Structure 1
Amino acid sequence: MLQVLATIWALLIGIVFIMLGNGMHFTLIGLRGGIEGFSAGELAIVTSGYFMGFLSGARFAPVLIRRVGHVRVFAALGSFMSAGLIALTLLAEPWAWTILRVILGFCMSGIYVAAESWLNNAATNETRGKVLSAYMIAQTLGIIGAQGLLTLGDAGTAALFIGASILVSISFAPILLSISPAPVVEVAKPMSLKQLFVSSPLGVVGTFLLGGLYATQSGMGAVFGTQIGMSANLISLFIAMLFAGALVLQYPFGWLSDRMDRRKLIFGAAVVGAAACLMGWGYGTDRRALMAAAFLAGGVTTPLYALFLAYTNDFLATEEMPAASGGLVFTFGLGAIAGPLITGWAMQGFGPFAFWLVLAVTFGAVALYALYRMAQRAVTPVAETDSYLGVLPMSSPVAVEAAGAWAAEQAEAEREAEGETVPG
């Protein structure tokens, strides 16, 4: 593992700094929006704007990279992102923030595409799994660490926004000064949603619903905390718990995923998520219950994304996986745009604790649909399924495709090894 890290350490350090800045700005939107008197509905539109930009970036960033190269796109998008973070403090209006968030989402998506292309190029078939795992851990640690940095300043001033901008700006130094020659970006054209749904209805519906869950948690969590009167430090802890749960529970879910019917695991995870959200709704005034609810709800959301990817790949030929990965990323993006809008409307109409009710209902829908699909399709033998790799929901198609290829290779190697050990 140390040999693997030695080849990608600069990229990982850069990613941690990027996620520190981006993670700060996500929570700052809710904190500063509350100070400026924005409604839950207005902040929901601002939140969805980011995911609109992110979805667009996932589609168009590879085109830009092919035209002018990794380094130019990476540096340009980084500059725009750094400027956008500071610009949020210059004009505190919902419409201006929405435009800026679309730009920030586009830039972040393009940065992911470029960074993940370099990462994938640095990996071999033997090290790809470890490289991707290290990358996902670096991302999650950056987001969690960002919440700690928020306790060092006041969201009512420009200081924290400037700090986020500085972190993003300096993140590019280790990457651009030490990166190997840039690879050619080849992102497969996404499979149509109709084709994808025919192959795996649960994968499509589940990924769409999960997009709403993830975007609501990461984008509206701080809005919820602000509206119920939580302190800035407590809101930071609340958001950190959402991602800490994902970091802790990823491995157990991965271990179970390769040993049982994935639909049962999806059902179980969704039930746990729904129960956690109902606890947050019913006991949200108790700090310990609130943090436990965040830990469990966030903890099952990220593994569910990887489960849906792995489950969908179980019904595809290896050559179909890249196109399917692009389709699932697009499906997730659509859900991520819709989720905050629905949640914001509910919070504005029924109060801040509707945040938990929307999450609980969405988790419940995932559980019920998984249960329905269990009655419609025979179980795939565990020996015939692809391996699981914990991919974060906000990964670009590059990382998702790489993870899918690695999972298929691992599963094929395991089947060949088992075949060699069979007597006769």
Structure 2
Amino acid sequence: MFRTILTIWALLIGIVLIMLGNGMHFTLIGLRGGIEGFSSAELAVVTSGYFVGFLSGARFTPLLIRRVGHVRVFAALGSFMSAGLIAFTLLAEPWAWTILRILVGFCMSGIYVAAESWLNNASTNENRGKVLSAYMIAQTLGIIGAQGLLTLGDAATAGLFIGASILVSVSFAPILLSAAPAPAVDVARPMSLRSLFVSSPLGTVGIFLLGSVYATQSGMGAVFGTQIGMTANEIALFVATLFAGALLLQFPIGWLSDQMDRRKLIFGASVLGGVACAAGWVLGGGLWALLAAAFFAGGVTTPLYALFLAYTNDFLSAEEMPAASGGLVFTFGLGAIVGPLITGWAMQWVGPSGFWLVLGVTFAVLALYALYRMTQRAVVPVGETESYLNVVPTASTVAVEAAGTWAAENAETEDKAEAAA
């Protein structure tokens, strides 16, 4: 593992710095929006704007790279994103922030495509699984670390936004100054939603609902904290706990995924998430109760994303996986747009508890649908399933395709080894 990290250290450092800046901006939107007097519904629209831009960037960035080159697109998107982060302090209006969020989302998606293309090009079939794991850990640690940086300044001033902009600007130096050659970007055309649903109804519906959960947690968590009177430091700790849970639960859930019927694990993880949300709603008066609820509700979200990807791939051929990856990322993005809008409306209607209400109901629907699908399709034998994909929801199609390819190759290698034995 250490040797693998040495080959991609510049990329990992760059990714951590990018996620520090992006993670700061996600929480800052909720903090500063509360100070500016934005309603939860207005902040929900602002939050959804990021995922509108994210979907657009995933679609158009490969075309831009083919036209003007990898390095130019990477540097241009970084410049626009850095400028966008500073611009949030210039005009505190919901419509202006929504436009800026679309811009930041577009740039961030394109940055992921470019960085993950470099990462995939730098890895081999033998170490791709380790490279992807290191990349996902770097992303998550960056987001968690960003919450710590928020405690160093005041959200009412421009300082934290400027800090986030500086981190994003600096993050490109280790990547662009490294000796890694610029790779070709070839993203498969996404599979249609109809074809995806026919192949795996649970995977398609589940990834859509999970997009709603993830966007609500990452985008509306700070809004929730602001509305219930948490301090800025407490809000930062609350958001960090959402992602810390994901970092710690990813590996045990991933191990279980390769040992049992994945639908049962999806059901169990969804129930755990729903129970955590119910506890957050009922017992959410104290900080420690909120942190416990955040740990488990956030902790199952990222593993569920990887579970749905792996479960869907169980019903696809190796040739279909790249197109299916694009379709799943697109479906996730649609859910991420819708989720915050519903949550914002619910928080406007029932108050801050609408945050837990929407999350809990979504987890419950996930659990019930998984239970229903167990009655509609025979279980895939554990020996015939693809390997668990260690992918986080922030990854672009490039990483998801690479993970799918690795999983298929890994499963094939294991089958040959068992046959030889």
TM-score band by shorter chain is over 0.9
Q: Distance in 1 between matches of 2:50 and 2:83?
A: 15
Partners of 1:11 and 1:179 within 8 A in 2: no
* Paired position in structure 2 for 1:26: 26
Matched, 1:354 2:354: yes
What code does the residue aligned with 1:207 have?
I
In 2: Cα distance, 1:179 partner to 1:53 partner: 30
| Matching of residue 172 in structure 1 with residue 180 in structure 2 | no
Question: Tell me, which stretches of 5 or more residues in structure 1 are unaligned?
Answer: none
What letter is aligned with 1:200? S
In the alignment, residue 46 of structure 1 is paired with which amino acid?
A: V
Letter of the aligned partner of 1:99 in structure 2? I
1:290 aligns with 2:286: no
Per the normalisation by structure 2, the TM-score is 1.00
Question: What SS does the corresponding residue of 1:319 show, helix, strand or coil?
Answer: coil
Task: Please provide the CA RMSD for this pair.
Answer: 0.5
Render the CA deviation track for 1:214-270: whole Å, top value 9, x for unaligned. Answer: 000000000000000000000000000000000000000110000000000000000
Match in the other structure for 2:13? 13
Q: Which residue of 2 aligns with 1:272?
A: 272
Say whether the 8 Å CA contact 2:150–2:233 is kept in structure 1: yes
SS in 2 for 1:152: coil
Q: TM-score, normalised by structure 1?
A: 0.99
Aligned to 2:56: 56
Matched, 1:390 2:378: no
Q: 1:302 touches 1:392 (CA, 8 Å); kept in 2?
A: yes
CA distance in 1, matches of 2:277, 2:12: 33
Q: Which consecutive residues of structure 2, in runs of 5 or more, have no partner in the other structure?
A: none
For 1:193, give the aligned amino acid.
Answer: L
Q: How far did 1:105 drift?
A: 0.0
Distance in 1, Cα, partners of 2:62 & 2:389: 24
Alignment of 1:108 with 2:119, yes or no, is: no
CA distance in 2, matches of 1:410, 1:179: 29
1:200-279 map, 5 Å: 200-279=200-279
> What displacement does 1:389 show?
2.2
Residue identity matched to 2:2? L
Q: Distance in 2 between matches of 1:92 and 1:26?
A: 16
Quote how far apart the aligned CAs of 1:127 are.
0.5
Amino acid corresponding to residue 217 of structure 1 in structure 2: Q
**Counterpart-to-counterpart distance in 2, 1:260 and 1:63:** 41
Query: Which residue is 1:130 aligned to?
Result: 130
Q: How does 1:333-348 map to 2 (within 5 A)?
A: 333-348=333-348
**CA distance, structure 2, for counterparts of residue 66 and residue 347 of structure 1:** 43
Residue pairs, 1:70-109, within 5 angstroms: 70-109=70-109
Cα distance in structure 1, aligned partners of 2:73 and 2:264: 42
Q: Deviations over 1:277-331 (max 9, x none)?
A: 0000001111111000000000000000000000000000000000000000000
Which string of whole-angstrom CA distances, capped at 9 and with x for unpartnered residues, describes residues 46-65 of structure 1? Answer: 00000000011011111111
Q: How does 1:137-152 map to 2 (within 5 A)?
A: 137-152=137-152
Q: Is the 8 A contact 2:309 2:389 kept in 1?
A: no
Shift of 1:3: 1.3
Number of the residue aligned with 1:191: 191
SS of the aligned residue for 1:156 comes to: coil
* Cα distance in structure 1, aligned partners of 2:415 and 2:383: 7
Amino acid at match of 2:54: F
Would the aligned equivalents of 1:208 and 1:335 in 2 still touch at CA under 8 Å? yes
Counterpart code for 1:399? A
Q: Deviation per CA, 1:359-411: give whole Å up to 9, x if none.
A: 00000000000000000000000000000022000100000000000001111
Instruction: Quote the Cα distance in structure 2 between the aligned partners of 1:197 and 1:179.
Output: 42
- Counterpart in the other structure of 1:65: 65
**Cα distance in 2 between the residues matched to 1:200 and 1:63:** 29
User: Sequence identity of aligned pairs in percent?
Assistant: 80
Q: Sort the Cα spacing of 1:126 and 1:95 in 2 relative to 1 into closer, same or farther, 3 A.
A: same
Separation (CA, whole Å) in 2 of partners of 1:287 and 1:7? 42
**Could you tell me how far apart the structure 1 residues matched to 2:400 and 2:183 are?**
17
Give the distance between the partners of 1:381 and 1:316, measured in 2 at CA.
15
Residue of structure 2 in register with 1:380 after alignment: 380
The amino acid across from 2:109 in the alignment is: S
C-alpha displacement at 1:185, in angstroms? Answer: 0.2
> Structure 1 residue 364 and structure 2 residue 364: aligned?
yes
Residue 414 in 1 paired to residue 386 in 2?
no
Q: What amino acid maps onto 1:379 in structure 2?
A: V
Cross-structure match for 1:302: 302
